[in-house]
Amino acid sequence: MKFETIENASLGEKLLFAKHSSGLNVYVFPKKGFSKYYAVYATKYGSIDNCFKAAGDNASTTVPEGIAHFLEHKLFEQPDGSNAFDQFSVTGANANAFTSFDVTAYLFSCTDEFYTNLDLLLDFVGTPYFTDENVAKEQGIIAQEIKMYEDDPHWRVYFNLLRGLYREFPVKYDITGTVESISQITPQILNKCYDVFYTPENMLLFLVGDIDETRAAELVEKHVRARGTEFERIFPNEPSAVAGDVTQKLAVAAPMFQLGFKDTDSAYGANSPLVGEKLLKKKLAAKIALEVFIGKSSELYTKLYEQGLIDDSFGHEVSFEPHYGFSTVGGESRDPKAVRDAIVAAIDEIKQSGFDTADIARVKKMFKGGFLRRFNSIEGIGNSFMRSIFNDIDAFSTLPTYDEITDDEINATFAEHFNPENMVLSVVEPL
Amino acid sequence: MITKQSLAENFNFYSLPHQQFKTNLLSVYIHVPIERETVTKLALLPAVLERGCEKFPTLADLCKHADELFGAAYDFGLRRKGDCAVLYFSLEFVQSKFAGENIAEQAMELLRQVIFFPRIENEGFLPEYVAQEKENQARFIEGIINDKREYASHRCAEIMFEGEAYGIPQHGYIADLSDVNEKNLYEFYKDIIGNCQTDVFFSGEFDEAAAIAQFKSVFAGEIAPRGRSAAPTAIAQAKNGEPKFVTEDMDVNQSKLNMGFTCECCPTVWEYFPLMMFNAIFGGGPFSKLFMNVRERLSLCYYVGSRVDRLKGIMTVGAGIAPDKYEETKTEILHWLSEMQHGNFSDDEINAAKKYITNGLESMKDSLFVMEDYTLSQSLINQKLPIDEFIANIQRVTKDEIVAAAGKIKLDTIFLLNGKEGGAE
């Protein structure tokens, strides 16, 4: 394996990259002066990948909701009955994993015995072990996890929103699935998903810290073999129209809401993925637009705050991925509908006037500072680069991209994306 | 090397040099007691101060100014430290070599304005700011119930330390809000900023002498002696008799079990290191007795863990359980405590715990915020233990010492947030 170096002089950082013969892309981000090392081994496989067609199969396979998350839990279990967590504990490392809509990632941070831990990581993720017995036991544990999320108003208001925004696209399903859906999971289905999605071609390894890339490469060589074949992800067509507003009652003190906007750009969607520079630009333009529109420095935020309609739980974010995009604003409010109405009225005004150039410049400056701050954290570096790479985005290009995006592009993105017709209000009300 | 310079009595400047970050962190800490009569006012202050000062009269003005400082991130709040708290004002900003301009002086000036020149009208804060933040505070307190895990943990502390400072919630009481007005809040605040110990922390890459000189020049009018030094925290005492047991019903799927234990351990004595080791083996680590048995082997809960509050000398255990699993879970937790008190844990577990704690301590060096907080906590117990010596101490802890620490641990309080019957299986 031969590493090439990607230098970034303005940040004073560099990234090493090599493609292993198995097809696995390996990245090393050298960070001297930090005590910790970080490794993330991830597959481009998340809760939305519920339907696929593997090469050689005649028909597509549809799997139960929540299986990616289930598989993540189960992969820690080893054939000798041990749990990979225990093995990491021997070296004092912090191991963890997470499943999102698009990615399943296995990771650890440690301050010692990095190569021992990397050996373990590559080994356990490469060794699936699913039996009827251990699957049944996991169903009990995850059912408890699902019950916990059912009580969590933040989680509920968010997933209710997605169910309101999306009629077909599987981002509408809870990442954990339901107690019912996970009860259908068997070792056979888990093996099938593993074989399709946990291939070197579909995965990447990202390492951060004061790392000897040659030693890391030796471990990749030891564990990773070319395996698996092509497959096709199958997504349903998502109509432009939203499903509608959602309200749920839970044990909360005050109403909680999320207001969402579904992106309905015709050049982008379930079956025409957006990646690379285009995706980055779209995402940053929406992020700037939303911040100028309703960030803490905006007139709208001030107005809503002074009217007592929002408090400092109020926040906003954009989620733009290759197959879907949406943005959310939300928090606690005594009157979520009044917040929505004020936002709709303000959208109209901005569409007439456009944003102020000085506000856009200020917000860009703020985001650039935030981007620089991310390099303070080895986990922050690992996670953000991992996500960017899966979407063919050069994370280093984020800073210059902020400068390149024009006011016109930001105004146009705002007008297109923040369309009240694609808007859904999700509310969790007190019992 | 961390250095401390006294700028006036009870007014200190700490320098924490770190070379590996892209930002600097500047924080001002004002040490305040937590008292039943004043806690609600204390809790209100950060939000009221953020709303506006003379120079940045509205929240939007302050935010815009921070944006212009290359997205400087400010955070004002109240952080509990044992029986007391610190009112903190922090600002993290990009180093000049990346920002292309020197932000440090402007950062100091921003904090000075917010802390010492709040927006005042007729000898009080702005009435509309206070009125609205009182409402927000009331909603915040009501909202604590939204996070059941957090709520149960608060309730457990409240019950265990009824009538004591440690049992007072740092967010205050809704019932007290009606007596707070712009004038008495400002009176209270003036007293704090004029009289309570104030510590300034500056972290990151900077020239120490130049930074102190700059700070002295910017804060020239504010650097003066403070009469009240930070107060120590009283160690929790073991009580005789049966533990307290309180249960509350709530319409949720999952019950929350919280248990409070006294440890009879001062933060400054050697016994603290064995206690920390005990906690890691018992319930602190991902491989702990509680995690491996109560969660993994018996599937009794989704989460279970223990933590020790060094300043107070207590341990708390929290678990999320199915409503019908209370007795079984409680019995299991106490069983593993008893096992450890009898020395039933292995050298492998000791070694794993040492590595786990060492890893955690080493990791602290990678965050400006964490190192700052560590140094602050150290200052509260008059200790200057560098992380590397802390690690060396952990490495020297013996099994007998851990058993001895376990032997002093005594159950004090159980709080059960009881979910609905049959809600989960």
- Alpha-helix runs per DSSP H in A53-131: 67-75, 84-91, 114-125
Distance CA B347, CA B362 (A): 22
pLDDT band at B251 (very low <50, low <70, confident <90, very high): confident
User: How many residues in chain B?
Assistant: 425
Instruction: Annotate B34-90 with DSSP letters as a single string.
Output: --TTTHHHHHHHHHHHHH-BSSS-SHHHHHHHHHHTTSPEEEEEEEEETTEEEEEEE
Listed in order, strand segments (DSSP E) in B271-332 are 301-309, 314-321
Smallest Cβ–Cβ distance between B60 and the set A94, A297, A376 belongs to A297
Q: A87: which residues sit within 8 A by CB, 6+ positions away?
A: A78, A120, A124
Smallest CA–CA distance, residue A322 to chain B, in Å, is: 28
What b/e sequence results for B299-338 when a residue is b if at least 16 CB atoms lie within 10 Å of its CB, and e otherwise?
bbbbbbbbebbbbbbbbbbbbbbbbebbeebbebbeebbe
Residue to mutate among A372, A379, A396, A402, with most B CBs inside 10 A, is: A372
pLDDT reported for residue B421: 61
- pLDDT tens digits for A357-408? 999 999 999 999 999 999 999 999 999 999 999 999 999 999 999 999 999 9
Asked whether the beta carbons of A426 and A160 are under 8 A apart, the reply is: yes
The pLDDT of B247-260, averaged and rounded, is: 93
Concatenated DSSP letters of A257-322: EEEEEE---TTSBTTB---HHHHHHHHHHHHHHHHHHHSTTSHHHHHHHHTTS--TT-EEEEEEET
What's the gap in Å between the CA of B142 and the closest CA on chain A? 5
**Amino acid sitting at position B292:** M
Return the axis-axis angle of helices B127-143 and B39-51, rounded to nearest 10°: 120
From chain A, the residues in CB contact with B60 under 8 A are 296-299, 301-302
Residue A214: band (very low, low, confident or very high) from pLDDT cuts 50, 70, 90:
very high
| Mean pLDDT taken over chain A | 95
Asked if the Cβ–Cβ distance from B322 to A144 is below 8 Å, we say yes
Weakest mean pLDDT among A313-317, A424-428, B298-302, B415-419: B298-302
CB-based contact A41:A121 (threshold 8 Å): yes
Lowest mean pLDDT among A82-96, A204-218, A316-330: A82-96
The C-alpha atoms of residue A312 and residue B140 are separated, in whole angstroms, by 10
> What distance in Å separates the CA atoms of residue A283 and residue A279, rounded to the nearest whole number?
6
- CA atoms within 13 Å, Cβ hemisphere of B151: 24
Residue A349 is a catalytic residue: no
Average pLDDT, chain B: 94
Q: How far apart are CA A174 and CA A160, in angstroms?
A: 9
* Alpha-carbon gap: B30 to the closest alpha carbon of chain A (Å): 23
Amino acid letter, A215: R
3-state helix, strand, coil split of chain B in percent (to 5) is: 45, 25, 30
| pLDDT at residue A328 is higher than 80 | yes
Say how many C-beta atoms besides its own lie within 10 A of residue A240's C-beta: 13
DSSP code, position B332: H
- Residue in chain B closest to A370 (alpha carbons) equals B71
Cβ distance of A144 and B362 shorter than 8 Å: no
Rounded average pLDDT over B46-55: 96
Q: Residue A24 carries which side chain, given as an amino acid letter?
A: L
DSSP secondary structure, A78-90, as one string: -TTS-BHHHHHHH
pLDDT (tens digit, 9 = 90+) per residue, A21-63? Answer: 999 999 999 999 999 999 999 999 999 999 999 988 999 999 9
Residue of B128, B302, B365 lying closest to A145 (CB–CB)? B302
For chain A, state the CA radius of gyration: 22
Mutation site for A-interface testing, chosen from B59, B94, B97, B146 by largest number of A Cβ within 10 Å: B146
Tell which residue, A291, A420, A249, A248, has the closest CA to residue A347. A420
Mean pLDDT of B202-228: 96
For residues A195-212, average pLDDT: 97
Distance from CA of A360 to the nearest CA of B (A): 11
- Distance from the Cα of A209 to chain B's closest Cα (Å) equals 11
Taking CA B32 as the corner, what is the angle to CA B27 and CA B33, rounded to the nearest 5 degrees? 150
Chain B residue closest in CA terms to A12 = B98
The residue type found at A54 is A
Q: Are A131 and A187 in contact (CB under 8 A)?
A: yes
Say yes or no for a CB contact (<8 Å) between A36 and B98: no
For residues B220-244, average pLDDT: 95
Tokens coding B308: 């020790």
Residue A247 predicted with pLDDT over 80? yes
Interface test with A, best of B92, B296, B298, B363 (most A CBs within 10 A): B363
Task: Please count the other Cβ atoms lying within 10 Å of the Cβ belonging to residue A65.
Answer: 23
pLDDT for the residue numbered B425: 34
Are A15 and A5 in contact, with CB atoms under 8 Å apart?
yes
Start-to-end CA distance of chain B, whole Å, equals 54
Contacts of A363 in chain B (CB under 8 A): 67
Which residue in the set B22, B58, B64 is minimally distant from A362, CB to CB?
Answer: B64
3-class secondary structure, A62: strand
pLDDT for B124 beyond 60: yes
pLDDT surpasses 60 at B422:
no
* Average of per-residue pLDDT across A225-234: 89
Q: Say how far residue A236 (Cα) sits from the centre of its chain.
A: 20
Rounded Cα distance between B32 and B77, Å, is: 12
Q: Considering chain A, what percentage of its residues have pLDDT values greater than 90?
A: 88
pLDDT-derived band at B423 (thresholds 50, 70, 90) equals: very low
> Per residue in B326-366, pLDDT tens?
999 999 999 999 999 999 999 999 998 999 899 999 999 99
pLDDT digits (tens, 9 = 90+) for A412-428: 999 999 999 999 999 99
Give, in degrees to the nearest 5, the angle at Cα A258 between A252 and A260.
Answer: 165
Residue A92 carries which DSSP code? T
* Interatomic CA distance for residues B246 and B259, integer angstroms: 10
Q: Which of A94, A144, A297 lies at the smallest CB-CB distance from B359?
A: A94
The secondary element (H helix, E strand) that includes residue B16 is strand B11-17
Q: Are B124 and B185 in contact (CB under 8 A)?
A: yes
Residue among A65, A72, A291, A332 flagged as catalytic: A72
> Are A209 and A38 a contacting pair, CB within 8 Å?
yes
Quick one: A120 exposed, middle or buried, by C-beta within 10 A (0-12, 13-18, 19+)? Answer: buried
CB atoms within 10 A of CB B22: 21
Q: Coil, strand, or helix at residue A181?
A: helix
Chain B residues closer than 8 Å to A379 by CB: none
Q: How far is CA B397 from CA B279, B351, B352, B391, B405, in A?
A: 13, 10, 13, 10, 11
Mean predicted confidence (pLDDT) in B152-178: 96
Identify the bridge partners of residue A19 per DSSP, sorted by sequence position: A25
pLDDT above 70 covers a percentage of chain B that reads 99
Per CB-CB distance under 8 Å, the chain A contacts of B64 are: 297, 362
Nearest CB to B63; choose among A143, A153, A297: A297
pTM given for the model: 0.90
Other Cβ atoms closer than 10 A to B183 = 14
Q: Indicate the pairing of strand A104-110 with strand A37-43.
A: antiparallel
User: Which one, of A268, A264, A208, lies nearest residue A239 by Cα?
Assistant: A264
Token pair of B328, please?
A: 């079984």
Q: What phi and psi, each to the nearest 5 degrees, are found at residue A214? A: -65, -40
> How far does CA A32 lie from the centroid of its chain?
28
Give the burial class of B157: count Cβ atoms within 10 A of its Cβ; 0-12 exposed, 13-18 middle, 19 or more buried.
buried
